[in-house]
């Protein structure tokens, strides 16, 4: 497919190349020396990202199949959040950006989402189709993001070790052949100040050497007590395109975040059926005033692509990511204080203190060929490739923790045992005799935030054992077209190695392997209607690099791999000359051998296995333009997620936690373009609905459903390069909770807040 401006001239090109797992496939042109502005570019060779049209949807996906394929031809649901939608909503973090995506529900303040009723594991996000680590607690800034793709279901045929519910792929901005500059400054509620920079263009007259620089800064407080965030991002990238057949791209992304971990709001009343979520204010926080959570994340990405002919191209990408953590926190044990008879005292929360430092490194390599061929009436787009992922947790990391109860001999017991009460120290709490904690209980009725003195605690130091995992995979895919039918067949073989005491004496290795198929069929029922069905399997090893927690070696023996499968059927349609998309999907996802926190107050890092879960449902998504001045993005999801097997038989058949059955979202923007008096004005309206949920660890209360509304006003003076914007989130100041884990860890939503923004383009 050729991409031109209305006058038939070259627009401008965002280079996505192999780092974004795009396809350099059958339609790559032969090399020539014509300037970039004059020559015609194929979408299959480089992804056109910097188009002038501002729209809330994407026509193509590269990551889902590693070929440039129209979304309507892909036999799988894919939701897209474009940079235009991100900007219009002032969505500065990933959680804000995914707010209206059908089937995606935020579960906490972290980078933790439920997709189609299935909570993500702590595996990080996918960036440009490459696996990252440790994005769980800190949501990444979005200033360098071109678009966000949510590929629904286990995409193991394309990516390695993915979550069964879906994969979140962040596509970064790439250099353009046209000079563009943009500066954005925002300020608003909770002492928030933000800034963003985006400049791009050619570095030489021939426009074969291109650059782009993105930067972001966030300095904000929070409606939550003690919370703050200071983060910056800088992301330079360079592309070399000597001709139409060859491209090289290099980019660097540096994230630095300084904040405190927010473990949520604690409430009173550990009485099933009588829980009052408003018993403490939503601002309530149980952390320490000297806590901190500092992380540094550095990514280097390089990609190369070359078309040997019009039928054969080769793509290769590499990513190195390093991640460092420095943590000091006071957190709940997920249990109330107890009296001498081991009965809970619901006005006091058990506490522990944690100091932790660690460093991770991840290397990704992806290489593949795209081959176009024909066998009789069949037209084939073949992909044959190899992936390697190597993640290492370095030696030198450690964790010191303080918790439990004081004994008379000066030592610590991990938990209170009333049968041995004579060994414990006791004190009075509101007239109640209670064992003395190592870390003072938090008084929920009269909270104080005096700076805790860590020297008063008895810490237990533990080394975080060096660990690693290596994944090697080969795969093949064929998109075979016959008339109105498109058959997608994929097969991926993975070999997984999990190491304990990695590269040290006593190293232990656990090896696993899996064959993963994908079978999909798309039928063009009409010029604007495609019907599809797909079956695929997923696989996710669960070893000592699958979580932040310290696991006893050899952890690879303890847990089986997470296995899943997807059955999906749907309809994808376009309307109004392809400016409106409406998609419907029916799905069933089964997963086995789930790994989750055991909610053990004596060992908050302890994990347990759950037998199986099943998630069924329907999704409806629509995005596009009603008129050239009025566009929208909307979605609805119904999810029936149940536990089908569990080591606790009473849970079998019960509803899965932290996922709503019904959810819906809408964002729409209208711009006035022709009025004499109001030209340049625009307005946006958003609505989000989430049904009720169950907490993660207990089933004694329900997180209520909520509906929140957002609004925005925009003004661009005629002939100006400046846009003024005001966004109001939670317009009617609703009190709501996005998720919960227990009585002591609820995650209230943000009250009404206002952000002002000035954007200058030049």
Summarize pLDDT for 700-718 with one digit per residue, the tens.
899 999 999 999 999 999 9
Average pLDDT over residues 438-461: 92
Instruction: Find where tokens 């290795």 sit.
Output: 509
Average pLDDT over residues 337-351: 93
The CA distance from 482 to 546, in Å, is: 42
Average pLDDT over residues 121-126: 68
Instruction: Find where tokens 């097969």 sit.
Output: 491
The CA distance from 536 to 567, in Å, is: 7
User: What DSSP element (H or E) covers 555?
Assistant: helix 555-558
Q: What percent of the chain has pLDDT over 90?
A: 68
Who's near 149: CB < 8 A, 6+ residues apart? 58, 61, 63, 64, 78, 79, 80, 168, 169, 171
Which 8-state DSSP code applies to residue 144?
T
Contact 548, 474 (CB under 8 A): no
Strand order in the sheet with 104-106: 104-106, 113-115, 118-119
Residues in the chain: 762
Provide the pLDDT confidence category of residue 556 given band limits of 50, 70 and 90: very low
Predicted pLDDT at 474: 96
- Is residue 646 over pLDDT 50? yes
- Neighbouring-strand partners of residue 666: 634, 687
State pLDDT tens for residues 466-498: 999 899 999 999 999 999 999 999 999 999 998
Predicted pLDDT at 554: 46
The CA distance from 408 to 607, in Å, is: 31
Provide the pLDDT confidence category of residue 124 given band limits of 50, 70 and 90: low
The CA distance from 623 to 85, in Å, is: 11
Predicted pLDDT at 49: 36
Who's near 232: CB < 8 A, 6+ residues apart? 215, 216, 217, 218, 255, 256
Which 8-state DSSP code applies to residue 84?
H
User: What DSSP element (H or E) covers 616?
Assistant: strand 607-627
Q: Look at the alpha carbons of 445, 448, 449, 454 in this order and tell me if their dihedral is positive or negative.
A: negative
Closest CA to 461 of 550, 544, 543, 548: 550
Q: Which residue has the higher pLDDT, 125 or 170?
A: 170
- Is residue 123 over pLDDT 70? no
Average pLDDT over residues 189-200: 97
Predicted pLDDT at 122: 57
Average pLDDT over residues 542-555: 53
Beta strands in 244-279 (DSSP E): 246-259
Provide the pLDDT confidence category of residue 138 given band limits of 50, 70 and 90: confident
The CA distance from 589 to 562, in Å, is: 13
CATH 2.40.170.20 is the classification of domain 18-399+463-761: yes
The CA distance from 563 to 496, in Å, is: 14
206-245 b/e with 16+ CB inside 10 Å = b?
Answer: ebbbbebbbbbbbbbebbbbbbebebbbbbbbbbbbebbb
H helices of 43-82, where? none
Which 8-state DSSP code applies to residue 678?
T
Who's near 601: CB < 8 A, 6+ residues apart? 333, 334, 335, 350, 415
For residue 265 the two structure tokens come to 């709001």
Question: 174: how many CB neighbours lie within 10 A of its CB?
Answer: 28
H helices of 165-238, where? none
Contact 144, 233 (CB under 8 A): yes
In this structure, the strands spanning 130-131 and 113-115 are: unpaired
The CA distance from 692 to 705, in Å, is: 4
The CA distance from 650 to 45, in Å, is: 55
Predicted pLDDT at 18: 35
Question: 296: how many CB neighbours lie within 10 A of its CB?
Answer: 15
Provide the pLDDT confidence category of residue 682 given band limits of 50, 70 and 90: very high
Which 8-state DSSP code applies to residue 358?
E
- Neighbouring-strand partners of residue 373: 380
Contact 509, 498 (CB under 8 A): yes
Provide the pLDDT confidence category of residue 40 given band limits of 50, 70 and 90: very low
Cis upstream peptide for 367 (omega within 30°) = no
SS (H, E, C) 383-423: EEEEEEEEEEECCCCEEEEECCEEECCCCEECCCCHHHHHH
Nearest 5°: the CA angle 492, 617, 741 is 90
For residue 375 the two structure tokens come to 């066998």
Closest CA to 128 of 43, 21, 237: 21
Predicted pLDDT at 31: 32
Average pLDDT over residues 736-743: 92
- The separation between CA 380 and the C-alpha centre of its own chain, rounded to angstroms, equals 33
Instruction: Find where tokens 């965030």 sit.
Output: 229
Highest mean predicted confidence (pLDDT) among 70-74, 244-248, 663-667: 663-667
Q: Which residue has the higher pLDDT, 9 or 533?
A: 533
Which 8-state DSSP code applies to residue 87?
H
Predicted pLDDT at 365: 96
- End-to-end Cα distance, the chain: 31
CA 257 → CA 229, 232, 295, 296, 297, distances in Å?
7, 7, 5, 7, 9
Q: What percent of the chain has pLDDT over 70?
A: 88
Average pLDDT over residues 403-407: 96
Average pLDDT over residues 389-400: 93
State pLDDT tens for residues 213-268: 999 999 999 999 999 999 999 999 999 999 989 999 999 999 999 999 999 998 88
Burial of 307 (0-12, 13-18, 19+ CB in 10 A): buried
The CA distance from 457 to 448, in Å, is: 18
For residue 45 the two structure tokens come to 């060779």
Predicted pLDDT at 543: 65
24-55 b/e with 16+ CB inside 10 Å = b?
Answer: bbbbbbeeeeeebeeeebbbbbbbbbbeeeeb
Q: Which residue has the higher pLDDT, 438 or 10?
A: 438
Provide the pLDDT confidence category of residue 600 given band limits of 50, 70 and 90: low
State pLDDT tens for residues 281-302: 999 999 999 999 999 999 999 9
CA 564 → CA 374, 612, 649, distances in Å?
34, 9, 21
User: 336-339, long-range: CB within 8 Å, 24+ apart, which pairs?
Assistant: 336/270, 336/743, 336/744, 337/429, 337/434, 337/437, 337/441, 338/416, 338/434, 338/435, 339/429, 339/432, 339/433, 339/434
Average pLDDT over residues 126-150: 86
The CA distance from 716 to 721, in Å, is: 7
User: What DSSP element (H or E) covers 597?
Assistant: strand 580-597
Predicted pLDDT at 21: 31
Contact 316, 18 (CB under 8 A): yes
The whole-chain average pLDDT of the chain stands at 87
Instruction: Find where tokens 């030592």 sit.
Output: 411
Closest CA to 128 of 318, 410, 363: 318
């Amino acid at each position: 497919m050729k991409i031109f401006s209305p006058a038939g001239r070259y627009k401008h090109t965002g280079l996505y190349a192999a780092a974004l797992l795009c396809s350099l496939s059958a339609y790559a042109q032969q090399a020539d020396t014509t300037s970039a502005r004059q020559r015609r570019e194929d979408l299959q060779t480089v992804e056109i990202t910097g188009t002038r049209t501002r729209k809330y949807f994407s026509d193509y996906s590269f990551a889902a199949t590693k070929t440039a394929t129209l979304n309507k031809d892909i036999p799988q649901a894919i939701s897209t959040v474009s940079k235009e939608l991100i900007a219009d909503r002032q969505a500065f973090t990933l959680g804000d950006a995914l707010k209206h995506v059908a089937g995606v529900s935020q579960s906490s303040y972290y980078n933790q989402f439920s997709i189609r009723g299935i909570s993500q594991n702590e595996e990080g996000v996918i960036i440009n189709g490459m696996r990252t680590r440790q994005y769980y607690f800190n949501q990444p800034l979005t200033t360098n993001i071109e678009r966000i793709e949510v590929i629904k279901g286990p995409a193991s045929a394309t990516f390695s070790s993915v979550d069964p519910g879906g994969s979140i792929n962040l596509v970064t901005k790439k250099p353009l052949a046209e000079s563009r500059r943009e500066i954005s400054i925002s300020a608003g509620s909770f002492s928030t100040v933000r800034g963003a920079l985006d400049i791009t263009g050619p570095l030489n007259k021939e426009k074969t050497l291109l650059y782009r620089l993105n930067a972001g800064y966030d300095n904000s407080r929070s409606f939550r007590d003690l919370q703050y965030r200071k983060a910056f991002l800088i992301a330079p990238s360079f592309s070399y395109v000597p001709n139409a057949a060859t491209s090289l791209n290099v980019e660097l992304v540096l994230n630095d975040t300084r904040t405190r971990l927010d473990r949520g709001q604690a409430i009173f009343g550990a009485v099933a059926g009588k829980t009052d979520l408003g018993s403490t204010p939503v601002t309530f926080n149980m952390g320490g005033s000297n806590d901190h959570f500092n992380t540094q994340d550095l990514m280097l990405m390089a990609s190369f692509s070359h078309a040997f002919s019009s039928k054969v191209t080769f793509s290769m990408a590499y990513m190195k990511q390093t991640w460092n953590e420095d943590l000091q926190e006071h957190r709940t044990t997920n249990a109330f204080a107890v009296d001498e008879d081991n009965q809970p005292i619901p006005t006091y929360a058990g506490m522990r203190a944690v100091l932790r430092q660690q460093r991770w490194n991840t290397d990704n390599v992806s290489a593949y060929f795209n081959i176009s061929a024909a066998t009789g009436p069949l037209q084939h787009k073949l992909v044959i490739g190899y992936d390697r992922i190597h993640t290492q947790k370095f030696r030198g990391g450690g964790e010191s923790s303080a918790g439990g109860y004081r004994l008379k001999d000066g030592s610590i017991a991990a938990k209170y045992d009333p049968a041995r009460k004579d060994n414990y120290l006791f004190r009075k709490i509101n007239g109640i005799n209670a064992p003395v904690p190592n870390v003072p209980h938090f008084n929920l009725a009269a909270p104080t935030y005096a700076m805790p003195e860590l020297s008063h605690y008895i810490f237990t130091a533990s080394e975080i054992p060096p660990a690693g995992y290596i994944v090697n995979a080969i795969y093949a895919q064929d998109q075979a077209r016959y008339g109105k039918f498109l058959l997608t067949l994929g097969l991926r073989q993975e070999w997984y190695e999990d190491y304990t005491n990695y590269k040290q004496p006593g190293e232990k290795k656990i090896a696993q392997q899996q064959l993963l198929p994908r079978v999909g069929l798309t039928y063009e029922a009409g010029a604007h209607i495609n019907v599809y069905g797909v079956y695929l399997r997923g696989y996710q090893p669960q070893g000592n690099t699958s979580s932040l927690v310290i696991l006893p070696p050899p952890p690879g023996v303890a847990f089986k791999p997470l296995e899943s499968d997807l059955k999906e059927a749907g309809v994808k349609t376009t309307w109004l000359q392809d400016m409106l998309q409406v998609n419907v999907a029916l799905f069933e996802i089964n997963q086995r051998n789930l790994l989750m926190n055991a909610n053990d107050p004596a060992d908050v890092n302890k994990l347990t296995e759950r037998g199986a879960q099943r998630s069924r449902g329907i999704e409806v998504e629509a995005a596009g333009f009603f008129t050239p001045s009025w566009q929208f993005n909307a979605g609805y999801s119904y999810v029936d997620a149940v536990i089908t097997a569990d080591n606790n038989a009473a849970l079998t058949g019960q509803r899965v936690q932290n996922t709503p059955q019904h959810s819906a979202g809408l964002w729409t923007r209208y711009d006035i373009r022709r009025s004499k008096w109001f030209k340049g004005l625009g307005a946006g309206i958003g609505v989000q609905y989430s049904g009720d949920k169950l907490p993660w660890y207990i089933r004694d209360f329900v997180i209520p459903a909520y509906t929140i509304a957002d609004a925005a006003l925009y003004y661009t003076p005629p002939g100006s390069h400046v846009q003024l914007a005001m966004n109001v989130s939670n317009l009617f100041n609703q009190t709501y909770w996005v998720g919960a884990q227990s009585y002591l860890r609820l995650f209230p939503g943000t009250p009404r807040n206002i952000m002002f923004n000035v954007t200058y383009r030049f």
